[in-house]
Chain A
Amino acid sequence: MTTIRSSASEMAAALASGETTSVELTEAHYAQIEKVDAQVHAFLYLDKEGALAQAADVDAKRKSGAELSPLAGIPLALKDVLTQKGIPTTCGSKMLEGWRPPYDSTVVSKLKAAGIVILGKTNMDEFAMGSSTENSAYGVTHNPWDLTRIPGGSGGGSSAALAAFEAPLAIGTDTGGSIRQPAAVTGTVGVKPTYGGVSRYGLIAFSSSLDQAGPCARTVLDAALLHEVIAGHDERDSTSINAPVPHVVKAAKKLDVKGMKIGVVKELQGEGFQSGVLSKFHEGLEELVAAGAELVEVSCPTFDYALAAYYLIAPSECSSNLARFDSMRYGIRVGDDGNRSAEEVMKLTRHEGFGPEVKRRIILGTYALSSGYYDAYYGSAQKVRTLLMRDFNAAFAQADVLVSPTAPTTAFKIGANDNDPLAMYLNDIATIPVNMAGIGGMSLPCGLAEEDGLPVGFQIMSPAMRDDLMYQVGGTLEAALLSKWGGPLLDKAPVLAGN
């Protein structure tokens, strides 16, 4: 019997067999949202009308015997950083309050074409800057495992929606870990594809050379199915890769890692990592060894500089990307009383429209790019990036995939890092190198930390364009862990009371 706790693949099978309809599924998810979202606050906007129309359309097509894509009729939660024509898109910022984009992002076009039902837009740190969703201008999202804790960020809304069974699939974006870290702390699966694997057209840019949209789900196979829907070359994005999409669904179903070499990154398991995180990570490694993989320790010494370099490159690009928010063409406008100059109105609008973390990064990036500092900051950071890629290349010469804990800690308490941006930035220490090198990364749950009973994420990194390898290893590890646990990790999460 299919329920909202089923996986997307199970729901797809139920739709195909006629056990349920897309309209029923969609309504069931809206019922759950109504029941729990006042506590979780995963969603910023619900498009019930549009979603039910899409669901009815898919049902009608199915009835008529039309050929449908595997995920047709399955509901999905969309991170509010991707444009959807006519649907409010805020990026979690006051700046874009009320803006309805006149066009669909390529990801949304592909979702619609595949018959996927977009339930609504999910909460996020403003302009994807943050690791906790606390930087949203529209309130924090709560972790379904413990409502006093953060759901990760920036895509906390998407992951929380999955963990609270408000949607079986979600889309996230990952600039320094914004898909993987929320997946880790909510006990769900999140994948950052190889840079250029998924079109960025319509993804509101934080840091163009690092941003990448990807699938979020509760199982590795579901993520793979969604991955194949959204990936592929797009002539509207010059940086999208013009090559066939790796066969990630096939890889996720392989359930075999015999003879594969798993590189354990030495630099990503020491100081600063919570003991419960490390012990669950090691249990995951043991499962892989038991499945026939071989562990090799690899060293990536420049990883120590990754965070510092990231916090120069990302703010630099963001300072330029966010310059367009000037009140002239869209978004809010503050102080336009007919007497103030355009420049004054721009200033007032940016002062009110942007939150403190966004301002901090714009200032940081403006400084790093300014004449006289460029070489020392942006220039050096780019060099670190090159060195990081060399480290990865050397490591991938020794191993098929690399692994590490996804985040150094489990979900922290809301407000715990309010006054310490650096501590907040450290959450992404293990995820950032992947973005800097443009390779693929996945997080999947590997257990609950002994000390706090909260989910721990296991990160798998694969070489550029070989996203299939992380799905192969992830699928195998997931199967082993499920049989060990006797069911999904999310079964152990507290059941949220209804309103």
Chain B
Amino acid sequence: MSLNYDQAVEKYEPTLGLEVHVELNTKSKMFCSCSTEFGGAPNTQTCPVCLGMPGALPVVNGKAIESTILIGLALNCSIAPFSRFARKNYFYPDMPKNFQTSQYDEPICVNGYLDVEIETDEGVKPFRVEIERVHMEEDTGKSLHVGGATGRIHGADYSLLDYNRAGIPLVEIVTKIVGGTGKYAPQVARAYVTELRDILRSLGVSDVKMEQGSMRCDVNLSLAPIGSGELGTRSETKNVNSLRSVERAVIGEVVRQSNRLEAGERIVQETRHFQEESGQTRSGRSKEQAEDYRYFPEPDLVPVVPDSAWIEELRATLPEKPSTRRARLQEEWSVPAKEMTSLVNAGLLDVVEETITIGADPTRARSWWLGEVSRLANEREVDPTTLITPAQVAEVISLIASGDLTDKLARQVVEGVIAGEGTPAEVISKRGLKVVSDDGALMAAIEAAIASQPDTAERVRGGNIPAAGALIGAVMKATGGQADAAKVRELLLKHLGQGE
């Protein structure tokens, strides 16, 4: 008998630790002036420094330090008056110097926290996640292993190396041990990563796109029998590339580990890889024998000693906290909490706010972005915000309000805009999408419908109002959907002696 999640958390207390890597969106790399643009032809964004050529030296990107300090401040950290880079030594072909320039025992930001809210059986409850450190490092290059069954280096025929990513600034945000979550560990993990993503986005320091890898999460998890007060052996799950996966990875590990423990087996300290399809984790590298990275202070760089006045200047520029902003908007728009969460999770808060600011009705603005635009974006597998602008959505909504468009027509307009046919006005004129509001034209169609379905018309005359639906449908069909259905209904019922 194997335990399911609910049974597992009745017996075992999970302990979490979350490590989030974020690619900063600086224009140039961490230690050289190469571009950080995503998607360039392989090895075109490189120079002697990021290729680790003999003799080349790093110089710290000041903007990256500024972004990291902003992150630290937003996470309520202390900013170290003196911090240093360190070399993390290990060999791998996609790491040009065979050491990663990182920070070790002297990180730039320490001891912060992030408050999140989780839905519990007793309603929404706050939960504080404590932050151990925020530090800077450089990304590695990318390896593409060609041939072989697994796509991994072992068994590959050959490997291709692209160093465009080598040296892109990364910030690593590490939590302290997160205990006391009980069965809500998956929600806490997801809420933390979500909140963190929103903060980073509000700071404008990263694209925070988990699917593209600009934000990556490692989930550490261990179990101990409830009440034992112990800490179990942890696993470290990598490749967790979406908010949903964060939640699923925690659930998957709780179930896997609890069943091992139930079977009297021990938990191996190891790296595991999250499998998107199954929601389970696969064993990776064992960490039983601690890897020795031989850290030592980077002698090619001087210590980072930020001026305290500068830190205060940066603190003064911190934007409104995402949680505060959400609460404010939720109240202004009078939105249910659940729908607010959907908007946030879909990353649509900014565009919806902008659409409303232009003058659109809050309810309609939300429903257009979450509904039709998101649907079309899903079909195309792109971000909804790249398809259409808030101004265009607002324009469509205003045309509906003025009666110039029906909802159905409006959907066609939006589709046309997304298909690149121009502004809403241009799409309307090109496609001839106008509401038929001429009573004469409508009456002709109504009479034609009655003539073709005399029995139905008779039933309506006799008081069977719902039967009118078939006639209204025929009129809508005849007008190519360009009539206002409410108007048709009104005219039809009146004509059949049922109007008020």
Contacts and interface: CB of A to CB of B under 8 A. Distances in A.
Interface of A: 82-83, 89, 91, 96, 99, 101-103, 105, 200-205, 207-209, 235-239, 316-317, 319-320, 323-326, 328-330, 341-343, 346, 366, 369-371, 374, 378
Given A209-B299, A329-B53, A341-B153, 9 more contacts: A82-B55, A101-B48, A203-B55, A208-B299, A237-B57, A238-B57, A238-B60, A326-B91, A326-B93
B290 interface: yes
A330 B301 contact: no
B89 interface: yes
A91 B53 CA distance: 13
A89 B54 contact: yes
B338 to A, nearest CB: 49
The 6 closest A-B pairs by CB, nearest first: A323-B98, A208-B299, A369-B294, A209-B299, A202-B55, A204-B54
B232 interface: no
Nearest to B300: A208
Interface of B: 48, 51-60, 87, 89, 91, 93, 96-99, 153-154, 159, 161, 290, 292, 294-296, 299-302
B296 A316 contact: yes
Contacts of A328: 93, 161
A89 B48 CA distance: 15
B59 A236 contact: yes
A374 B296 contact: yes
Given A202-B56, A346-B91, A102 B290 contact: no
Contacts of A203: 55
B91 A323 contact: yes
Given A235-B59, A323-B89, A326-B98, A102 B299 contact: no
A91 B60 contact: no
Given A105-B55, A201-B55, A328-B161, A238 B301 contact: yes
A24 B451 CA distance: 112
Given A239-B302, A320-B99, A324-B96, A342 B55 contact: no
Given A317-B299, A328-B93, A329-B52, A323 B57 contact: no
Nearest to A201: B57
A205 B97 CA distance: 12
A406 to B, nearest CB: 25
Given A238-B59, A366-B294, A370-B294, A323 B302 contact: no
A323 B58 CA distance: 16
A369 B89 CA distance: 10
Nearest to A240: B57
A81 to B, nearest CB: 8
A254 B300 CA distance: 36
30 contacts: A83-B55, A96-B54, A101-B54, A102-B48, A205-B300, A207-B299, A208-B299, A235-B59, A236-B57, A238-B59, A238-B60, A238-B302, A239-B301, A239-B302, A316-B296, A320-B89, A320-B99, A323-B91, A323-B98, A324-B96, A324-B97, A326-B93, A326-B98, A328-B93, A328-B161, A329-B53, A329-B96, A330-B54, A342-B159, A371-B294
Contacts of B56: 103, 201-202
A342 B299 contact: no
Contact of B48 (A96, A103, A319): A103
A235 to B, nearest CB: 7
B145 to A, nearest CB: 10
Contacts of B98: 323-324, 326
Contacts of A325: 54
Contacts of A343: 91
B91 A378 contact: no
Nearest to B32: A236
A102 B48 CA distance: 8
Contact of A342 (B59, B153, B300, B301): B153
A342 B93 contact: yes
Q: Among the interface residues B57, B60, B154, B159, which one has the most CB atoms of the partner chain A within 10 A?
A: B57
Nearest to B92: A342
B302 to A, nearest CB: 5
A231 to B, nearest CB: 17
B293 to A, nearest CB: 8
Contacts of B53: 83, 101-103, 329-330
A370 B58 contact: no
B9 to A, nearest CB: 36
Contact of B99 (A202, A323, A342): A323
Contact of B52 (A235, A317, A324, A378): A324
Contact of B97 (A91, A202, A204, A323): A323
B65 to A, nearest CB: 12
Contact of B296 (A96, A237, A320, A329): A320
Contact of A238 (B58, B154, B295): B58
A95 to B, nearest CB: 9
A377 B292 CA distance: 16
B103 to A, nearest CB: 15
Nearest to A343: B91
Contact of B55 (A204, A341, A369): A204
Contacts of A366: 294
B94 to A, nearest CB: 9
Contact of A239 (B52, B54, B300): B300
A342 B152 CA distance: 13
Nearest to A83: B55
Contacts of B93: 326, 328, 342
Nearest to A367: B294
A330 B51 CA distance: 10
B148 to A, nearest CB: 12
A366 B290 CA distance: 16
B411 to A, nearest CB: 54
Contacts of A324: 52, 54, 96-98
Contact of B57 (A101, A200, A317, A329): A200
A435 to B, nearest CB: 13
B299 A369 contact: no
Nearest to B155: A341
Contacts of A370: 292, 294
B153 A91 contact: no
A7 to B, nearest CB: 30
Contacts of B292: 370-371
A325 B299 CA distance: 19
A320 B97 CA distance: 8
